[in-house]
Structure 1
Amino acid sequence: MKKLLGILMAGAMMLSLAACGSTGSEAASTGSSANTAEAATAASSASTDLKVGVILVGDETEGYSAAHINGIKEAAAEVGLPEDQIIWKYKVPESAECSDAAEDLVGQGCDLVIANSYGHQTYLVETAEKYPDTTFVSMTGDFAAISGLDNFKNAFTSVYQSRYVSGVVAGMKLKELVDSGTLTPETQPNSFDADGNVKIGYVGAFPYAEVISGYTAFYLGVKSVFPTVTMEVMYTNSWFDIDKEGAAAEALIANGAVIIGQHADSTGAPAATQRLKDAGTICYSVGYNIDMLDTAPTAALTSATNVWKVYYAELFTAAMNGEEIPTDWAKGYEDGAVAITDLGPECAEGTADKVAEVEAALKDGTLHVFDTSTFTVDGQTVTSAPVDLSYYDYSTGEAVAVYQGETKEAIHDGYFDESTLRSAPYFMLHIDGIVEDSDPVA
């Protein structure tokens, strides 16, 4: 983990327009996926000898891993993969323990080994090098295409799309609060900055591209409905820490934030928001991975989520049929791979209709989340964003290219084209209206 944090923190400081990561010439898969019936039919005639090993950073009590667990089980049932042919490794840290877990899974005869956390990637690839007849998939990883290994793959969803939609939900609520006179500079003065912008907050895990892409998409979703808004981001330097996430939410609300978004995996931020709302503060929560209504029954508006079943059904079907598995896979609303959870009881009137409108535009390609006409950087419209797709190690204090990739332009036709050069996000622009705290939550 220390090595990972060194890489991520240095990378975030050194790179602005170019993301720290990698790819090769093979672009992320963005075509239409097989529908449920087709996937099940294709798999029904396939061999069911496939044995799958799953390495998880958490377990069913942690939202991100729970979403993977559910997606894998649903996909297995859909394509006819027996549950007893899936071997689970829970709470595997982002360390050499991942290598040990992968070795054990290969030893137990797994043909396919999946790891769900970014920090597993560097350890998983070591095992992939040793066992070329086993396929390894590093979820959210970023250098499979330039690793030189045919048996090493990356996959992620276009979750920035559902984060944008969850931002639209938040924007609808802000508009309702202001238009109704519930939220005014007189009733809650700390929630407005000197320019009259309403403050919102965001609890982030680590300061790198996946989180920056996500919180920017969320902010732009809010701004599309309620333009006069500013957002403060606080980091926890942990994927799952209930106490830190709760403390970050409390600090953001103390600074005036009316809505708290998150790219962190626990219920800490929604729970803290609900406590403060119950105490009389005007504040709401937008979660991640899972429905947060049990935790924050009146504060939760919705959560951005991944529909992992879509990927895993495709993966298992391809593996069972002996078909090629994409080196980079990334799909979104157009394939049902991302979504938002049920709307909370205090969402603004008209939110469902607005969500349907936005989701339809994302599906048909008429709406682009990172439309460059909707944001500026240092007051200027961004017309070029070259992305260095090499993978660097910063642990020694200097950038060392472990895998060399090309530098490619990410802006085309007036928008930043996320998750097409590789599956993992690479949006690293720090746009106007968003402020990151320099120090993580202690």
Structure 2
Amino acid sequence: MKLRKLVSVAMAGVMTLSLAACGGSGTADTTAAPAASTEAAADTTAAEAGETEAKEAAPAGGVAKEDLKVGFVFIGDENEGYTAAHYKGAMEMKDALGLSDDQIIVKWNIPEDETAQDAAMDLADQGCQIVFANSFGHESYVIEAAKEYPEVQFCHATGFQAASSGLSNMHNYFTAIYEARYVSGVVAGLKLNQMIEDGTVAKDACKIGYVGAYPYAEVISGYTSFFLGVRSVCPDATMEVKYTNSWASFDLEKEAADALISDGCVLISQHADTTGAPTACEAAGVPCVGYNISMIATAPTQALTSSTNNWGAYVTEAVQHVVDGTEIPVDWCKGFSDGAVLITELNEAAVAPGTKEKVEEVEAKLAAGELHVFDTSTWTVKGETLDTYKKDDGNEYISDGYFHESEFASAPAFDILIDGINTIDN
């Protein structure tokens, strides 16, 4: 056993399994619920009484459900929207597959450094047959863990290196969140039209603001799809994007939203993980669209909806592959047609009349493949319509009249700065 494995085993022996740790700032691992020990004791008593049922036989190459352990490496905790959505997906998987609480082990608040590798390896040492990690910066460390544990499956959200790693046990996954951002943009555009009609906003001053985390393709794809959704119903809109250079900072996100509002933005959206922007919008009386979770509790008069992911769709599928002994896709990305993305509930106190009906229409078209978010007839670059776009991977991303987002790999690839959007750093 290598030194790193010995360290991981030693750490596992001294770690306290406490669900309360998920709310703290330090790293910790927990089972899904504190009742696990009680359930285990009950199982033991039943076994002694000869009342336990025989284990379900595992398929050849698979794992019996009773023997499963599933590990999660999370960048945050349940108080941060992005991780909260991932944890919700983990719990949906647990319920769907009938797993017990002690079969789910979570590592909370794991930073994007070697701690991520240690966490992933410790989960493998604890017997997890499959390990998930949810932050972009975890990827290189998860790959190193996958090299050390070829018998364990490692699944990483938002990354792009699985295919090139040459590892059969390394996988990338993401959702077609750009579809949900487009729909949330439609909601925002309808609100802008209402504001124009009632005289709140001048038609020639219809500028929206966007609080972005980093200038990565993931964020560019997100704010562009949102903007195209807005423009599909409100063609006069323009956008200003302000980066925080942080995935989750309440203060920086609130500060960015305040700055955008001061600069004349009349509606705010975000690709950042806290409630900072909606807090600023509620105070300023500016409508907003969130991400990951509903922001209505934070901005009851201003939050319209949020784009969000159903991570349970992937996690359940991937774990089922382990149970069945079948291959997990190297890259996975699904959208409305598979229930992997959605928008949160519409705030009837804030959205424009007719929003629900329009949302249903657009979602149906996306699910049926009748509507392509990055249709090249709807956007230009320096006044020109693009008919070709090749990246370093050698793929041609524009064909059949639209940019084929997340089709060559699960991670977002759209990194084009289109007309109508202005970006600034924090």
TM tier relative to shorter chain: 0.7 to 0.9
The secondary structure found in structure 2 opposite 1:424 is coil
Please give the residue correspondences for 1:65-80 in structure 2 after superposition, counting only pairs within 5 Å: 65-80=83-98
Q: 1:146 and 1:50 mapped to 2: Cα distance?
A: 28
Alignment partner, residue 295 of structure 1: 298
Match of 1:359 in 2: 363
1:108 lines up with 2:126 in the alignment: yes
> Is 1:164–1:217's contact at 8 Å kept on the other side of the alignment?
yes
1:79-94 correspondence runs (5 A)? 79-94=97-112
The number of residue pairs the alignment matches comes to: 366
Does 2:407 match 1:412?
A: no
* 1:46 Cα deviation from its structure 2 partner: 4.8
What CA distance in whole angstroms lies between the structure 2 residues aligned with 1:176 and 1:276?
Answer: 18
Q: Normalization by structure 1: what TM-score?
A: 0.81
Residue 323 of structure 2 corresponds to residue 320 of structure 1: yes
SS at match of 2:254: helix
Amino acid at match of 2:190: M
Segments of 4+ in structure 1 off by > 4 A? none
Match runs of 1:354-393 below 5 Å: 354-389=358-393
* Aligned-partner SS, 1:427: coil
Q: After superposition, what is the alpha-carbon deviation per residue over 1:87-144, rounded to whole angstroms, capped at 9, x for unaligned?
A: 1100000001111111211111111111000100011101111111111111111110
The question of whether the paired residues in 1 share the 8 Å contact of 2:64 and 2:323 is answered with: yes
Q: Which residue of 2 aligns with 1:162?
A: 180
Does the 8 A contact of 2:65 with 2:99 survive in 1? Answer: no
Following superposition, the deviation at residue 326 of structure 1 comes to 0.6
Query: In the aligned structure 2, how far is the partner of 1:366 from the partner of 1:153?
Result: 29
Please give the per-residue CA displacement for 1:343-379, whole angstroms capped at 9, x wherever unaligned. 1121000000000000000011110000000000011
Residue among 132, 147, 159 paired with 1:141? 159
Q: 1:260 is matched with which residue?
A: 268
Q: 1: CA distance between counterparts of 2:289 and 2:342?
A: 13
Match of residue 11 from structure 1? none
Q: Residue 422 of structure 1 aligns to which amino acid in structure 2? A: A
Which residue number in structure 1 is paired with residue 140 of structure 2? 122
Matches within 5 A, 1:173-184: 173-184=191-202
Q: Choose from 335, 338, 341 the match for 2:341.
A: 338
Q: Any conservation in 1 of the 2:112–2:137 contact (CA below 8 Å)?
A: yes
Deviation at 1:431, TM superposition (A): 0.2
CA contact (8 A) 1:223 1:229 kept: yes
Q: Distance in 1 between matches of 2:354 and 2:124?
A: 52
Report deviation, 1:197.
Answer: 4.5
Q: Are 1:48 and 1:320, in contact at CA under 8 Å, matched by a contact in 2? A: no
- Stretches of structure 1 that go unaligned for 5 or more consecutive residues are 1-41, 185-191, 278-282, 390-406
Residue 425 (structure 1) aligns with: 412
- State whether structure 2 residue 212 is matched by structure 1 residue 225: no
CA distance in 2, matches of 1:431, 1:420: 21
**Amino acid aligned to 2:389:** A
Contact kept in structure 2, 1:102 and 1:124, CA below 8 Å: yes
Distance 2:200 2:269 in 1: 21
Task: Tell me the equivalent position of 2:354.
Answer: 350
Q: Is residue 137–residue 155 contact of structure 1 (8 Å, CA) maintained in 2? A: yes
C-alpha separation between the residues in 2 aligned to 1:377 and 1:307? Answer: 33
Amino acid at match of 1:202: Y
TM-score (ref. length: structure 2)? 0.84
1:9-31 CA-to-partner distances (Å, cap 9, x unmatched) read: xxxxxxxxxxxxxxxxxxxxxxx
Deviation string for 1:152-194 (max 9, x for gaps)?
000000000000000000000000110222323xxxxxxx7xx
The alignment partner of 2:334 has SS state of: coil
**Inter-partner Cα distance in structure 1 for 2:117 and 2:367:** 39
Query: Could you tell me which amino acid in structure 2 is paired with residue 433 of structure 1?
Result: G
1:239 partnered with 2:247 = yes
Q: Which amino acid aligns with 2:335?
A: G
Q: In angstroms, what is the RMSD of aligned CA positions?
A: 1.5
Which residue in the other structure is 1:205 paired with?
A: 213
Asked if structure 2 preserves the Cα contact closer than 8 Å seen for 1:48 and 1:80, the reply is no
Assess if the C-alpha contact under 8 Å between 1:51 and 1:86 holds in 2. Answer: yes
Question: Is contact 2:201-2:266 (8 Å) kept?
Answer: no
Deviation at 1:81, TM superposition (A): 2.1
Q: Determine if contact 2:71/2:128 at 8 Å carries over to the other structure.
A: yes
Q: Which has the higher contact order (CA 8 A, sep 6+)?
A: 1
Counterpart in the other structure of 2:287: 284
1:402 is aligned to none
Code of the aligned partner of 2:256:
A
Q: Larger deviation: 311-320 or 155-164? A: 311-320
- The answer on whether the counterparts of 1:94 and 1:119 sit within 8 Å (CA) in structure 2 is yes
